[in-house]
Amino acid sequence: MLLLDTHVWVWSVEGDVGRVGRRARQLLRRAESHEALRVSPATLFEVTALHTAGRLRLAWPPEQWIGQALEVASVRIAALSPAIAIDAGYIPRDALADPLDRLLVATARQLDATFLTRSSLAGRPIAASRSISCTMGNPENFSIQPSMSSLASASRSPC
């Protein structure tokens, strides 16, 4: 199972191969073919919050974009269970400051999933048992084009 970080999910749905490396695209294709792609409800919140704050420009209202994005890649929403919430609460803030990141890491741990992220969680002991960071760039603001294209092009990323 592959749990997608918010940015990785957005980039993969939009076909932004400049930010999703080759290795990440291979993992995404493999997980999609096994119906093993997941996003957290926290990811849906983050997409909506980023759009509302003007840090993510979507071609459609968030609820419409999210609905279409879930259909495009056959992504399923991971349950947010009490065990996940409790596990996230135990992750120290000094180990992982962002509460949403703590929820995502806890979700990956509880689902025994690989967490595909843009951040550098891979080397942290608090991270998910399998955490892969293989994206390019460090954008704070980015724009989503109207197309819902799938992954197609090659990338120069080492991942």
Taking only the tens of pLDDT, the chain with its 159 residues reads 999 999 899 988 887 877 877 888 888 889 988 999 999 999 999 999 999 999 998 888 999 999 999 987 789 999 999 999 999 999 999 888 899 999 999 999 999 999 988 765 544 444 444 444 433 333 333 223 222 322 222 222 323
What contacts 129, CB < 8 A, 6 or more positions away?
A: 108, 109, 112
Q: Which residues contact 96 (CB under 8 A, 6 or more apart)?
A: 102, 105, 121, 124, 126, 127
Cα distance between residue 23 and residue 6, in whole Å: 18
One-letter amino acid of 146: P
| pTM, two decimal places | 0.76
Cβ(107)–Cβ(80) under 8 Å? yes
What CATH number belongs to 2-139? 3.40.50.1010
